[in-house]
Amino acid sequence: MLVTISGPPGSGKSTTAARIAEEFGFDHVSGGDTFREMAAERGLSPVEFNELAEDDDQIDRDLDRRLREHAVEGEQLVLESRLAGWLAGEHADLRIWLDAPLDVRVERITDREEKDFAVAREETRRREESEAKRYAEYYDIDIGDRSIYDLVVNTGRWSEETVPDLLIRAVDAYDPATDEGKEPITGVRYDF
């Protein structure tokens, strides 16, 4: 089974994906961790690396190619990234989008990265604009389109412990027979 967890920064993707993977004994691949590693290799912050990626499309393409390879080859996998649902394409069994109001997400980022709230808010805004622009340009993906997701959850409504519990129940209840006749994702250019 391949479960994808997508959403904007601070939505709870990593926490939720790790809990689901642990619960079911699945592997967990994090696009955010991979992206931060790639940024650190170049001595850049994630925001700086995002901005560099606006001028160097190979950065996104390298990251996305790696994630797509995991989706194609993965069994018993939780794939977590902003584009995981799109990149997994027909290989995904269950696609989940997590979100929360901007200030809730920024507060989480502030706590996680020990940043000033105003700085984290501006960085998050810039990062989201940068990513949306690149996804549209590279792959014809509208990151605001939630139609491909099986579940969309506002993580600002529940605790950090409750959201994974809700989604563990959803994964446990998944029935592959319901996928018959499911429309494949079309129109995405996988030109890495």
Strand partners, 94: 3
From CA 81, how far away is CA 156, in angstroms rounded?
A: 19
DSSP-derived secondary structure letter, 34: H
- Residue 33 contacts by C-beta under 8 Å, 6 or more apart in sequence? 14
pLDDT of residue 13: 94
pLDDT of residue 172: 93
Q: What is the pTM of this model?
A: 0.86
Widest Cα–Cα separation across the chain: 48
pLDDT of residue 187: 58
Say if CB 16 and CB 169 are below 8 A apart.
no
From CA 180, how far away is CA 26, in angstroms rounded?
A: 24
SS3 24: helix
pLDDT of residue 21: 97
pLDDT of residue 37: 85
- The token duo for 49 is 């690396």
From CA 150, how far away is CA 134, in angstroms rounded?
A: 24
b/e per residue, 73-90, with b = 16+ CB within 10 A?
Answer: ebeebbbbbbbbbbbbbe
**Structural domains for the chain:** 2-172 (3.40.50.300)
Distances in whole angstroms, Cα of residue 13 to Cα of each of 139, 149, 160: 22, 14, 11
pLDDT digits (tens, 9 = 90+) for 36-83: 888 999 999 987 887 898 789 899 888 998 899 888 887 899 999 999
- The token duo for 65 is 């190619």
From CA 103, how far away is CA 100, in angstroms rounded?
A: 8
pLDDT of residue 182: 64
pLDDT of residue 66: 86
- Low-confidence stretches of the chain (pLDDT beneath 70): 180-192
Sheet with 27-30: strands ordered across: 27-30, 77-80, 2-6, 94-99, 151-154
pLDDT of residue 185: 66
